[in-house]
Amino acid sequence: MNNFSFPLSKRATTATSSAIREILKVTERPDIISFAGGLPSPEGFPVEQLHQAYDKVLSTQPKVALQYGPTEGYRPLREWVVSDFKSRGVDICVDNVLVVSGSQQALDLIGKLFIDEGSKVLLESPSYLGAIQSFSQFGPQYATIPTDDDGLIPEGLTDELAKDARFAYVLPNYQNPTGRTLSLERRIALVKRAAELNLPLVEDDPYGELRFEGEALPGLFALAQQHGATVIRMGSFSKVLSPGLRIGFIIAPEAVIRKLVQLKQATDLHTATVTQMAVYEAVKDGFLAEHLPKVRELYKRQCHYMLEALEQNFAGVNVTWTRPKGGMFIWMTFDGDVNTTELLARAVEEQKVAYVPGQPFYPYAQTAPTNHLRLSFVTVPEEKIRIGIANLSKLFK
């Protein structure tokens, strides 16, 4: 049954597995302390609220919930997104919103919309590996926008770099994998530069609501309305409610949404109606304002535990790490000839701890730097964070 000799598409033959998904298979072992998965903490899942929401939807509107729905999404949920963004000073209407089956579908649809074989796509360096994996299906040529310890450098978006590029993909808040946040000054400069170049920006913001320090900053979409740039904004309920719901959304100019709707019709017709209705029922009366502060406080504690453990255990090691003000990740950079990809097997087998090597977060992993790794701090309890970081330090010492 394992023999399969039929010809496959080029897309299928060049597809590769996600590095993180492969690592997660190993970390299912109960003896492994895993800092690898980018999973939100189950402690932050509003189980009772969602239970009540599904019960209400299925008891009061079962025939609607179990039927096909419009490709654009459940209108009350789209209207809720409009209202939520208007409360932040963002002027949109319901025709600017498309509900999708998680942010990963948004990436897939945006790739289908913009990328032909050989198209130039701009990324931060490093960038989210799920986006790289999704866009790579369509055969782009990647070019990277320079970054430093404060994230993307807008001045690095030169005329030559942007020439013929279809879009630039950026994560301004608590970036995956580095945890960095783009300053207001750099956001404004980036949006102005994109307007000058007539370059669309794809703003991915799954972590924006997970801020646990500092002030909230306006998103690129909001700034674009002031400075004449085109921004396609991705949002998600995965990190604020539950990733298992698979509900995300795209906010974009109406002409872009119309094309994305056509592409989505050919992909899955529409996102699950009953789930959209349950999400709307859960959030419509202001539940997130009550729920999110608890999640933020949980993540703040977890981040503090890991930063403290790093300070205690990596003293004397030539390494630096980011200090995120939100989100889920810390990025470590080692000096010298360190290969975190090669060391991962030893970390798992000898020290019983897992991380994600830095190489998969670069578009061309074979030429990527080898001296980085990503740690996730949100799903591991305090005691295991301290043990796991101590064990990890033994490897690098």
Do residues 388 and 265 share a domain?
no
- Assess if residue 46 is contained within a domain: no
Q: Which residue has the tokens 């630096």?
A: 320
pLDDT tens per residue across all 397 residues of the chain:
567 678 888 888 877 776 656 666 766 788 999 999 888 999 999 999 999 999 999 999 999 999 999 999 999 999 999 999 999 999 999 999 999 999 999 999 999 999 999 999 999 999 999 999 999 999 999 999 999 989 999 999 999 999 999 999 999 999 999 999 999 999 999 999 999 999 999 999 999 999 999 999 999 999 999 999 999 999 999 999 999 999 999 999 999 999 999 999 999 999 999 999 999 999 999 999 999 999 999 999 999 999 999 999 999 999 999 999 999 999 999 998 899 999 998 999 999 999 999 999 999 978 999 999 999 999 999 999 999 999 999 999 8
Residues 120 and 261 grouped into a single domain: yes
Report the 3 state secondary structure along 108-158. HHHHHHHCCCCCEEEEECCCCHHHHHHHHCCCCEEEEECEECCEECHHHCC
Residues 97 and 223 in one domain: yes
Same domain membership, residue 79 and residue 162? yes
Same domain, 195 and 309: no
Domain-ending residue, one of 253, 268, 287: 287
pLDDT confidence of residue 27: 65
Residue 368 has a CB neighbour count (10 Å cut-off) of: 18
Note down the domain range covering 248: 62-287
The reply to whether 2 falls in a domain is: no
Q: What's the per-residue H, E or C state across 24-89? A: HHHHCCCCCEECCCCCCCHHHCCHHHHHHHHHHHHHHCHHHHCCCCCCCCCHHHHHHHHHHHHCCC
At residue 40, the pLDDT reads 94
pLDDT of residue 22: 64
Note whether residue 231 is domain-resident.
yes
Q: Write down the pLDDT at residue 6.
A: 83
- 251 and 304 inside one domain: no
Residues 126 and 272 in one domain: yes
Whether 377 maps to a domain, the answer reads yes
CATH number, domain of 368, equals 3.90.1150.10
Residue type, 269: L
| Same domain? 205 vs 276 | yes
| Whether residues 343 and 279 fall in one domain | no
Residues 218 and 170 in one domain: yes
> In angstroms, rounded to a whole number, what is the distance separating the alpha carbons of residues 89 and 120?
33
Domain count, the chain: 2
Indicate whether 92 and 216 sit together in one domain: yes
Choosing from 257, 287, 317, the residue where a domain stops is: 287
Residues 243, 173, single domain; the answer is: yes
Residue 45 lies in a domain: no
Determine the pLDDT at residue 205.
97
Is 131 contained in some domain?
yes
Whether 56 maps to a domain, the answer reads no
Q: Which of 287, 319, 349 is the last residue of a domain?
A: 287
The answer to whether position 52 is within a domain reads: no
Q: What is the CATH number of the domain that holds 113?
A: 3.40.640.10
298-301 long-range contacts (CB < 8 A, ≥24 apart) are 298/41, 298/43, 298/44, 298/378, 299/41, 299/44, 299/210, 299/212, 299/326, 299/327, 299/328, 299/377, 299/378, 300/212, 300/213, 301/382
pLDDT of residue 20: 59
